[in-house]
Structure 1
């Protein structure tokens, strides 16, 4: 089941956005600036300024929480009610766990680092990783036996304990097992045969990403998340200015920020421009932005991409009534930044191809499942979840093109809801 048509984001109906947003006023006008990349000029929309307001406000919330200040940490009602990821990806709960418990807790041998990061990334579940670590000693590739890991995972599986986090959909490769977790375990073994060597010999960080994408079950989103997690350690010793992959959610966010259709070939260039000119935009909008840590680290490429996805969610939430208040998990622990960020090699820029995404192409998306349907403007739409992408990237798709591209998915959906 698949869809090979080009997916484009719908622009926000700006005049419908309620005045309750402190970051995106309904009477906002487009900023007086443009960006020219690859011979094409793009004009920002009012959402472009909302992006910078959101980035500053969301980071300010994190700073207040790190200081142990009580809620509310913001006057913006959208940010008070709905959960959003941090402006800096590294500050999200999962990233902090990877740094402190996966990377720094254990052998620093490169192969063992790759193994622990890959093991965690396979399930992206703190509970699953902690359960494995508590039951298997030592948790090392040099002593790895599939039967030990199967025993622990099967116990969780039989007890109906979620093995995977709900944040990411992870399509399992077909490697001869009935259960997804066994296919994933076998796939991890396949990757471990060459991934440590691929990391060690990579001239560019893009080399590792491209190698991962040669595997059928590793879509762009899944491969990029793994590369970012590996980059928190010294096994991928590259600058954060080197490489970025534009996901579905961030593509929608980018499209909201600029007028007209943005060709795929221009996306990375625009993100690079946003990263390089961020201080200008914070200054222009009179926003206080302290950066990250004692060295005031700026927003990096992965953070721009990450926050573009959040701004798409933010704008959508403007028209979504709050079902229940968002409650935080309490005071945040002390922030931990990767020790590998201090390595000298991180200061050298190594972009594999200056003409990134030179050829615009039609990207193929595979339908994982259809979960709902609705009527819209006299036409039926289906809520589609895409293989290799998070649930936040689910999108409403018109019935006609979907029926041509993924007819079996629609048949399975009707069969399921009518059963």
Structure 2
């Protein structure tokens, strides 16, 4: 069945998908590696609208997770707890201000006081507005800070939960365990899972959970819409099968279209190929891109050069990245 997937794609849209992600990665390369001034592309849609990076690990928020949570000298349970907290809050500045949380010393009341102080006294935004997260009505309050504090108080007291996650039989089983917690919907649970699958130096190149980002994926609503644009009828094919085909055939597809995709380079000089998690993300961004291209929608976020991080700031973030080297990016 997998061999037949390529025959079911809309050829023009499949080509557009690879062209879009190539140009998006070229934007990053010109901006960060070549340090060229903006604009970094002639594509008007990419000039004017904000799209996330092709490689998920290039996002500063993901690098924060890798460098400040996954690489921390702490038990796996604490790292899982902090990744869940960081992804639900969604703001790097909030977690950075709170600091790395230990399960042994976590206090929900203190946590709530600190969040309220940031929100009410300092007038700062506590949670992200970049994506929607599930409601917390079952936590018993109309105040999100109180609900989130109660939620993490409950999670922190269940050591069996973390043991179950660490001993899960598959990435999908681990995802379902994350998904079982209130507030962790399909999208958020998958983001947590992917974070826990990044190889880190602390474990000698292994990850917190013993699986690979290419073992399994859960396409979120945006990725499903992107898939539907590429291959409309899923009666014969599973979405994961289609994503696997895209991930496994990326080299051939770039060659077929004569696209110069600027792969990241690993420390050993090998290309870092797009993972299933990256493909999932690219499908979501492609859906947004195609909507704008066809004038049937617009991006939620516009790109403003004046608000963007400088190339130097981005390079400083990547300098400590354990999984790739920007110096060797071609």
| TM-score by shorter chain over 0.5 | yes
Corresponding residue for residue 57 of structure 1 = 23
Which one has the bigger helix percentage? 2
Corresponding residue for residue 55 of structure 2 = 88
Corresponding residue for residue 130 of structure 2 = 167
The answer to whether residue 312 in structure 2 is matched with residue 333 in structure 1 is no
3-state SS of 2:4 partner: strand
Q: Is the CA contact (8 Å cut-off) linking 1:125 and 1:163 kept in structure 2?
A: yes
Corresponding residue for residue 186 of structure 2 = 220
- Residue segments in structure 2 that go unaligned for 5+ positions in a row: 201-206, 325-330
Corresponding residue for residue 97 of structure 1 = 64
Corresponding residue for residue 108 of structure 2 = 146
Q: 1:112 to 1:217 in 2, by over 3 A?
A: closer
**1:222 CA drift (Å):** 1.6
Q: Is the CA contact (8 Å cut-off) linking 1:244 and 1:302 kept in structure 2?
A: yes
Corresponding residue for residue 273 of structure 2 = 298
Q: 1:62 to 1:184 in 2, by over 3 A?
A: same
3-state SS of 1:206 partner: helix
**1:199 CA drift (Å):** 2.7
In 2, Cα distance between the equivalents of 1:131 and 1:145? 16
Q: 1:340 to 1:147 in 2, by over 3 A?
A: farther
3-state SS of 2:10 partner: coil
**1:269 CA drift (Å):** 0.4
- Residues 75-94 of structure 1 deviation map (CA, whole Å, 9 limit, x = unaligned): 21211111111111111121
Higher Rg: 1
Corresponding residue for residue 316 of structure 1 = 291
In 2, Cα distance between the equivalents of 1:46 and 1:325? 27
Corresponding residue for residue 4 of structure 2 = 36
* Number of equivalenced pairs: 300
**1:162 CA drift (Å):** 1.7
1:12-411 correspondence to structure 2 within 5 Å: 36-37=4-5, 42-67=8-33, 68-104=35-71, 106-133=72-99, 139-159=101-121, 160-173=123-136, 174-192=138-156, 193=158, 194-232=160-198, 234-258=207-231, 260-263=232-235, 266-294=238-266, 295-318=270-293, 319=295, 326-327=304-305, 328-331=308-311, 332-334=314-316, 335=318, 339=322
3-state SS of 1:231 partner: coil
Q: Is the CA contact (8 Å cut-off) linking 1:290 and 1:296 kept in structure 2?
A: no
In 2, Cα distance between the equivalents of 1:59 and 1:71? 15
- Residues 323-361 of structure 1 deviation map (CA, whole Å, 9 limit, x = unaligned): 9763232212242686489xxxxxxxxxxxxxxxxxxxx
- Residue segments in structure 1 that go unaligned for 5+ positions in a row: 1-33, 342-419
Which one has the bigger strand percentage? 1
Corresponding residue for residue 203 of structure 2 = none
- Residues 149-172 of structure 1 deviation map (CA, whole Å, 9 limit, x = unaligned): 111111123244221111121223
Q: Is the CA contact (8 Å cut-off) linking 1:171 and 1:217 kept in structure 2?
A: yes
In 1, Cα distance between the equivalents of 2:74 and 2:182? 30
- Residues 261-311 of structure 1 deviation map (CA, whole Å, 9 limit, x = unaligned): 224952110110111111111001000123222321111111111001111
Q: Is the CA contact (8 Å cut-off) linking 2:22 and 2:260 kept in structure 1?
A: yes
